[in-house]
């Protein structure tokens, strides 16, 4: 196996995808969005509870590859208790993180565990699997709850 | 063994490269096949020595290009055993051939309330053109179901036939599973009710001889690129009587005999359906591809593919958690499978890192996948230049993927 693929599937990703967090419906959700990857048919739905401007809770539904599940699982943890403007900023950082040039050191410092997603930097065919939940977050936040 | 794949591998420049530092194992032949040097040389020659437009000039170069181009029509005629020159229309591929039939023939014969039968197994390109036609005409698009073993349900098909059915569109070989349709029988049944039949041969022409007269179909479509030829070129075979009845599909140069400002007279088939400058170099390359496979001969070719399929199937079945779909007795060397607990994409990425190219996902056959309750599969599609050693590399890489995700 190439080092790129070993890095893609690092332990944290395998663990998150095998036991995703915050997976399931969310009855109290104020904001919801779904997105689908036409290439593979994978789909993710995001549910958020916003209180004022703050995301109090987030869950996801959907099935997909390990990268998508890990990304969605980490997302739901990362945005809990976060102002929506900060969550939107996070989406932008993730978009840069998965590009070949990657995110800046300062940005990476804000990401914590989420840096595990940067393995797709060198596996372009799988970039969308990681960004799909974040695109969905963007769409959910744009929705006027 | 009369055929040794090693004897042909050197003909395919792409096969000898390293991918991710290891030798490429190309098991994505159903997407597009690799090209032998003679095909590449023929397309280069079309630009180097014979570059001129066809059917237009009196000059020597144009005459030479026209002659070489039309000679390919004869090769295709022999290749599918058509009756006449006029039955072979060059298109840019299977997709365009099907759209041509749907838009020209379909519009002619399908009216409001009529039925078009399409199997659930089809590639999207043999479904969407019929959806468009039926929406335009107020006709009814009917789904011919498939069986759990990924074959067209021939009994259900027979029961659906009636005089309301005007067109039937069926795949010869499934791109998603490799299963083979009893196509000649189905054509005969449809004809009893007066329906015309289009056969999608995209995955059939590269695995064995095709005889359109024996099949009896009205239309047969394929792409050169799956037959070791260039991309952007393909063939529509149409029975002479059908093509003669059909109006043009696209207008332009080459498809007319005389043009007045108000209206034009259209050329006879096949030229009526070949508007504009065609993919001349592509057609030349397709001719070389037909020569190449004909020189090997279907006997040795098919026997080797058969042996490879049996070997790969046995090896794959020994891997824990693997389920093969469409594991029928007679099939093309395509293995479509799932692995318990691992998404096809993740399998594909790990295989790629070991140099093994497979396709993962829905394979442009979403209704077929849904019918089997699948969200996608891993598809290894083999060609005559693949080897048992490559199957071993593939199975070893698969085992390492499974180990990682368990
Ligand atoms: C069964 C089948 N039909 C149609 C097509 C479409 O062929 P093309 O994209 O060359 O037009 C393909 C190839 O993808 C196929 O496998």
> Does B28 lie at the interface with A, CB-CB under 8 angstroms?
no
Q: Is A4 in the B-facing interface, judged by CB distances under 8 Å?
A: yes
Contacts of B345 in chain A (CB under 8 A): 40, 42, 64-65, 67, 126, 129
Looking at B23-59, list the stretches that DSSP marks H as alpha helix, in order from N- to C-terminal side: 37-48
- Provide the pLDDT for residue B376: 92
Which of A71-85, B247-261, B337-351 comes out lowest in average pLDDT? B247-261
What is this model's ipTM?
Answer: 0.91
> Is there an atom of ligand 1 within 6 Å of B99 CB?
no
Q: Residue B83: is its pLDDT beyond 70? A: yes
Among chain A residues, CA nearest to B399: A1
Question: Do residues B110 and B116 touch, judged by C-beta distance below 8 A?
Answer: yes
Q: Where exactly are the structural domains of chain B?
A: 6-30+297-404, 41-294
Looking at per-residue confidence, does B29 or B301 come out higher?
Answer: B29
Predicted pLDDT of residue A25 = 97
Structure tokens at A46: 């995001």
Query: Model confidence over A11-20: pLDDT tens digits?
Result: 999 999 999 9
Kindly state the average pLDDT of the residues B148-172. 98
What is the number of structural domains in chain A? 1
- Catalytic (active site) residue B364: yes
Q: Is the pLDDT of residue A10 over 80?
A: yes
Q: Which residue of A has its CA nearest to B344?
A: A65
Sheet of B219-223, strand order: B88-91, B234-238, B219-223, B196-200, B165-171, B115-119, B140-144
The per-residue pLDDT for range B187-202, each reduced to its tens digit, is 999 999 999 999 999 9
* Residue-level pLDDT at B3: 85
Q: What confidence score (pLDDT) does residue B56 get?
A: 81
**CB-CB under 8 Å, A39 with B346:** no
- What fold is seen in the domain B6-30+297-404? 3.90.1150
Write the pLDDT tens digit of every residue in B12-21.
999 999 999 9
CA of B171, closest atom in ligand 1:
1
Whether this model's pTM surpasses 0.90: yes
Quick: pLDDT tens for A72-121.
999 999 999 999 999 999 999 999 999 999 999 999 999 999 999 999 99
Residue A53 distance to chain B (closest CA, Å): 36
**Nearest residue on chain B to A10, judged by CA atoms?**
B404
Q: Which of B127, B202, B229, B336 to mutate to test the pocket of ligand 1 (most atoms within 8 A of CB)?
A: B202
Confidence check: pLDDT of B2 > 80: no
The span from the first CA to the last CA of chain B, in angstroms, equals 40
Q: Decide: B338 in ligand 1 pocket, CB within 6 A.
A: no
User: Of the candidates A8, A41, A66, which has its C-beta nearest B361's C-beta?
Assistant: A41
Cβ of B353 within 8 Å of Cβ of A129? The answer is no
B263-273 per-position pLDDT tens digit? 999 999 999 99
Touching B: A residues 74-103, CB under 8 Å: none
Looking at chain A, which residue has its C-alpha nearest residue B347? A65
Q: What pLDDT does residue B349 have?
A: 96
Q: How confident is the model at residue B1 (pLDDT cuts 50, 70, 90)?
A: low
Q: Average pLDDT of B258-264?
A: 91
Q: What is the pLDDT of residue B57?
A: 79
Query: Can you give the residue range of the structural domain that contains A38?
Result: 3-143
Confirm or reject: Cβ of B125 under 6 Å from ligand 1. Answer: yes
Report yes or no: B210 and B220 within 8 Å, Cβ to Cβ.
Answer: yes
CB proximity list for B395: less than 8 A, separation 6 or greater: B312, B315, B316, B319
Dihedral (CA of B314, B316, B318, B324) sign: negative
Judge: domain B41-294, CATH 3.40.640.10: yes
Mean pLDDT of all residues belonging to chain B: 96
Q: Chain A contact for B378, CB < 8 A? A: no
CATH code at A62? 3.90.1010.10
Residues B92-124: tens digit of each pLDDT: 999 999 999 999 999 999 999 999 999 999 999
Question: CB of A106 within 8 Å of any CB in chain B?
Answer: no
* Interface contact B362, partner A, CB < 8 A: yes
For A27-80, write each residue's pLDDT tens digit: 999 999 999 988 888 899 999 999 999 999 999 999 999 999 999 999 999 999
Judge if the beta carbon of residue B94 lies within 6 A of ligand 1.
yes
Whether A144 shows a pLDDT value over 90: the answer reads: no
pLDDT for the residue numbered B289: 98
B85 exposed, middle or buried (CB, 10 Å; 0-12, 13-18, 19+)? Answer: middle
- Predicted confidence at residue B55, as pLDDT, reads 87
Q: What is the pLDDT of residues A117-128, one digit of tens each?
A: 999 999 999 999
CA distance A83 to chain B (A): 33
Q: Is the CB of B202 under 6 A from ligand 1?
A: yes
Question: Pseudo-torsion of CA B158, B184, B103, B69, nearest 10°?
Answer: 170
Which of B343, B347, B356, B401 to probe the A interface (max A CBs under 10 A)?
B343
């Amino acid at each position: 196996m190439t080092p790129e693929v070993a890095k893609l599937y690092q332990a944290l990703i395998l663990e998150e995808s095998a036991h995703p967090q915050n997976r399931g419906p969310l009855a109290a959700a104020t904001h919801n969005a779904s997105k689908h990857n036409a290439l593979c048919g994978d789909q993710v739905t995001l549910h958020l509870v916003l209180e004022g401007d703050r995301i109090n809770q987030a869950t996801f539904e959907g099935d997909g590859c390990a990268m998508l599940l890990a990304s969605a699982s980490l997302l739901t943890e990362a945005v809990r208790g976060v102002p929506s403007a900060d969550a939107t900023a996070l989406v932008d950082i993730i978009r840069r993180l998965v590009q070949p040039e990657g995110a800046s050191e300062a940005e990476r410092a804000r990401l914590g565990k989420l840096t595990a997603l940067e393995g797709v930097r060198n596996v372009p065919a799988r970039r969308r699997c990681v960004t799909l939940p974040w695109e969905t977050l963007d769409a959910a936040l744009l929705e006027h709850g | 063994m009369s055929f040794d794949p090693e004897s042909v591998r050197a003909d395919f420049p792409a096969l000898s490269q390293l991918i991710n530092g290891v030798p490429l194992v190309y098991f994505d032949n159903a997407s597009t096949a690799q090209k032998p040097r003679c095909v590449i040389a023929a397309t280069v020659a079309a630009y180097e020595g014979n570059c001129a437009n066809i059917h237009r000039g009196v000059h020597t170069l144009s005459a030479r290009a026209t002659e070489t181009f039309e000679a390919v029509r004869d090769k295709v005629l022999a290749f599918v055993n058509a009756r006449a020159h006029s039955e072979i229309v060059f298109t840019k591929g299977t997709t365009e051939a099907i759209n041509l039939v749907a838009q020209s023939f379909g519009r002619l014969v399908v009216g409001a309330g009529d039925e078009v039968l399409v199997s659930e197994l089809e590639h999207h390109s043999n479904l969407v053109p019929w959806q468009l036609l039926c929406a335009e005409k107020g006709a009814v698009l009917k789904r011919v179901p498939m069986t759990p073993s990924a074959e067209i349900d021939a009994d259900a098909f027979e029961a659906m036939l009636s005089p309301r059915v005007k067109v039937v569109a069926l795949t010869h070989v499934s791109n998603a599973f490799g299963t083979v349709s009893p196509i000649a029988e189905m054509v005969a049944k449809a004809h009893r009710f007066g329906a015309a039949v289009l056969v999608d041969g995209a995955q059939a022409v590269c695995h064995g001889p095709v005889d359109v007269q024996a099949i009896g179909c009205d239309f047969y479509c394929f792409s050169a690129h799956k037959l070791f030829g260039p991309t952007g070129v393909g063939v529509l075979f149409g029975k002479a009587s059908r093509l003669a009845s059909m109006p043009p599909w696209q207008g332009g140069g080459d498809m007319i005999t005389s043009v007045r400002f108000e209206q034009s007279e259209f050329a006879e088939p096949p030229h009526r359906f070949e508007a504009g400058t065609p993919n001349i170099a592509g057609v030349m390359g397709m001719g070389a591809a037909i020569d190449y496979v004909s020189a090997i001969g279907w006997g040795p070719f098919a026997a080797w593919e058969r042996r490879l399929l049996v070997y790969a199937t046995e090896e794959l079945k020994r891997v824990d958690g693997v389920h093969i779909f469409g594991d029928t007795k007679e099939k093309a060397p395509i293995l479509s499978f799932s692995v318990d607990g691992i998404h096809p994409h993740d399998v594909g990425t790990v295989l790629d890192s070991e140099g093994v190219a497979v396709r993962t996902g829905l394979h442009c056959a979403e209704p077929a996948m849904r019918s089997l309750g699948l969200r996608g599969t891993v598809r290894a599609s083999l060609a005559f230049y693949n080897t048992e050693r490559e199957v071993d590399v593939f199975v070893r890489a698969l085992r390492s993927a499974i180990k990682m995700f368990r």
